[in-house]
Structure 1
Amino acid sequence: MAEEQSLAAEETGSEYNAFVTETTIEGADDGPLSGKTVAVKDNISTQGVRTTCGSAMLADYVPPYDATVVRRLKDAGATIVGKTNMDEFGMGSTTETSAFGPAENPAAPGRVPGGSSGGSAAAVAGGLADLALGTDTGGSIRNPAAFCGVVGIKPTYGLVSRYGLVAYANSLEQIGPLAPTVEEAAALLDVVAGPDEHDATTRDAAANSDYASAADGDVEGTTIGVPTELVEGADEGVRETFEAALDDLRDQGAETVEVSLPSVETAVQAYYVVAMSEASSNLARYDGVRYGVSGGYEGNWNESFADAREEGFGEEVKRRVLLGTYALSAGYHDKYYAKAQDARAWIQQDFDEAFQEADVLASPTMPVPPFELGESLDDPLQLYLADANTVPVNLANLPAISVPAGETDGLPVGLQFVGPAFGERAVIRAGSALE
């Protein structure tokens, strides 16, 4: 079995600042991932190795147990090589909100690697790990996969156990793989997927699916729906790269049809109301008493809690907690949170109707190429709007994959395939056709 690590896992200034903590956790002697190195996002619990969530609040937190996905990695023979840098508590799209400094993009120097799983994508793109695990609440696997020119899979909600994941927005987030190729990402998904007695949201439908075998590149007869709403707003170079990828798929025997998802126009607004509301509830535990840095013991408890959060949380986390608390407050719950949940139902209905016409849906993963480092920090609203193509998938609890589609002006562009619930094999097959 795996060798347990001491509490003194090494803090490093790793290449590309991809890791918050570098360490070595050896897995079983053999298994499907024997000989493979895996980087694990720093919001996934690792016994005896600190798990910071990219936050000063948890800079010294060491979990007493492994997340289910970590246990499955070790049982499969993988060697875990470190905990990857990320936007603080998963709140960001560039990895620049990390308390440990921004990660860099190996595929586009001077540009962000995306987020919040930017360190995981950078580790794979930079050759620091063979594979990586990230988490996706509104695009946080697919965004950095697109920006770093690697493959990322956001599984169906309930496919992968969230036991041991430090929660941001429970009803939206999923753990998933990043890898250089679709087949390798699917093989990692095979290891971590499946029901878990510790997570009641996991489903039996997740068992024994052999996702890697679906990466056969055969899209002959596949109908690909192209939602106009997810293409029209994309940067011209991104759109041209996307259209060229569709031409390639048509040459391989796929058919493309235009579909509409009218409710996605409200997706970003609905997503941020739901996500921030759940975040405000989840982060209430970081009060300097149960978790986090101490706020001191002079004065009253409210002042102590406030001091702890002022010291431990970064600006983006504070912004989202405040907005989420406001949306849940008396007099505003029905006006904001309840309406966001209604919009979520409409989005799910639109996807259901689209899948009556197509086997999978395709869009640019991100509407723009990677931002320059520092470019987006002064305009959080524009950063939120950049998630327009990814957040609808989380609201509808569907699977999606981002695969490299080419470049625009030398910068990576990703193509996203979305499938029906537990339709991972369909998106994996479509994604492998582009390799």
Structure 2
Amino acid sequence: MPTSISDTLPRVDQTKLIAELKSRAKALGFDAFGIAAADARPDLPEKLQVALERGWHGDMDWMAETAARREAPAGLWPEARAIIMLGVNYGPDSDPLAQLGERETGNISVYARNRDYHDLIKGKLKELAGLLHRRAGAEVKVFVDTAPVMEKPLGEAAGIGWQGKHTVLVSREFGSWLFLGAIMTDMALPPDAPHAESCGSCRRCLDICPTNAFPAPFQLDARRCLAYLNIELKGAIPHEFRIAMGNRIYGCDDCLAVCPWNKFATQTREMKLQAREYLRAPALADLAQLDDPGFRALFAGSPVKRLGHARFLRNVLIALGNSQSRALAPLAEQRLTDPDPLIRGAAVWATRRLAEAEKAAALKLAFLPAERDTSVREEWNAVVPADAR
């Protein structure tokens, strides 16, 4: 009787098989390829448990709910023997940090300036996984940030990079700009050597963080991360992080962009990941006037669309309040009567930051008595320090 699942598979020349998979992966647009054993990271359960116990996942409850499956590939698929990790370079053609000084524009994270990478990469993964199934009879499952798979430590185990002090995978060839995908298989494949951590004494990614989101190197408290706050958080942006948010309306690239390994990075060769011109630095004045259909049309096919109109406008209004442009104040005032309290609350903050003191006081007198939402009333009654105006 067979002693393992792999014993029932056809005998294949694994060297030739892997060479064919690598060749096909490159032709499909993948820039990095590596193989890890499914049990390559026995340290992950403890690391995940520590993060959850400390509450670093914020209100991303799904992380705790899926912990048993997330902490090890076998928890997700007991038959998994090997994991093929793949990376797609999404390197930008300019420095994302340069736009942070353009206060009247919205800064969108590099990865979201064109097509949603989930859709783009999943199709490629399915095609490559299909090749493995046809050649070897192996069962396969594909994942691209859509299931409880810890892609970054598995990418390190597969030798395509290492988790930097900012917790993102870093590559010697592509810096911090790699999208990751995984193909799990019940076929035992020879693993690649894991990549050694190569950050050295550098701590630029830690020091640049505007909200001090890293409790220590290689640890991230999502509750303080701007990318979490303006993408994952459902409610109002906490007051303590609003000024630090600047003009970042979707995500934050600071810790990625400052990495010295990016000097070896190149612009993505995937046209569908190159920035659409109108998403490079969209004017806040235009974004603040978008209705729901306009928002959906502008961000069709983009990850930004998943935010929804209300959270998107929440972010735009915070950026508007940070613009220091009194000429934009009327756009914030227009949203004081928005039906959604999340938008109204952000509009109150932006208005009080941009309007003359007398005007802000008059607006408060006009709108506060009729306001029934507690959170918006609190916004009207909040005190904005004079040095933050």
Whichever structure has more helix as a proportion of its residues is 2
TM-score, structure 2 normalization: 0.27
Greater strand content: 1
